[in-house]
Amino acid sequence: METYLKLFPGFRRIVHAENALRASQMLSNQEFDLVITDIQLDRSNALEFIERLRSQPRYYHQKIMVVSGCLTKEITLRLMQNNIRHILVKPFTARQLLIYAISCLGIQRKPKKLVDKILKQVRLRLSDKKDLLENAVADDDIQKMFDTANQPASKKDQEN
């Protein structure tokens, strides 16, 4: 999921918490624009985590997005009671994740167009690298292949 989110330049800093306890600790020490949680967490569940957050005035308006592979009517109702409006059902694509995250943040009026543009740039960049990698392998130049795979995006890629 982090890999998908990194495709969007607006997500500059992405932090991962192993469980709800660690997430709570991180939230108490810093502010986050968006919290994304799976409904099933290690050693607890996201509903309890969200309800604890929402019980504190500081987090009442925290933007939270939930992903789930096991959504029931009861869970959906409890999420909605806790002001959760962005629920993404597994399995999902990179496109769906980005659209939901951008929409949850409210930073783009037409997130679908933005995400399609980002994914097009990624596909172009990967196809360019694929051609370069195939040429490097054909030349048996391992160093060239390694350098090509690890080179930063060109200015042209960044401008699009």
Same domain, 21 and 44: yes
Return the pLDDT at 135. 60
Return the pLDDT at 27. 93
Q: What is the CATH number of the domain that holds 23?
A: 3.40.50.2300
Within a 10 A sphere around the Cβ of 53, how many other Cβ atoms?
20
What length is written for the chain?
Answer: 160
Same domain, 119 and 102: no
Q: Which two tokens stand for residue 92?
A: 């999902």
* Angle, helix 142-150 to helix 111-138, in steps of 10 degrees: 170
Same domain, 96 and 30: yes
Last residue of a domain, one of 108, 125, 151: 108
Q: Which residues are 93's β-sheet partners?
A: none
Q: Which domain holds residue 98?
A: 2-108
Number of folded domains that form the chain: 2
Same domain, 120 and 83: no
Same domain, 30 and 102: yes
- Ranges of residues in the chain with a pLDDT under 70 are 129-160
Same domain, 91 and 140: no
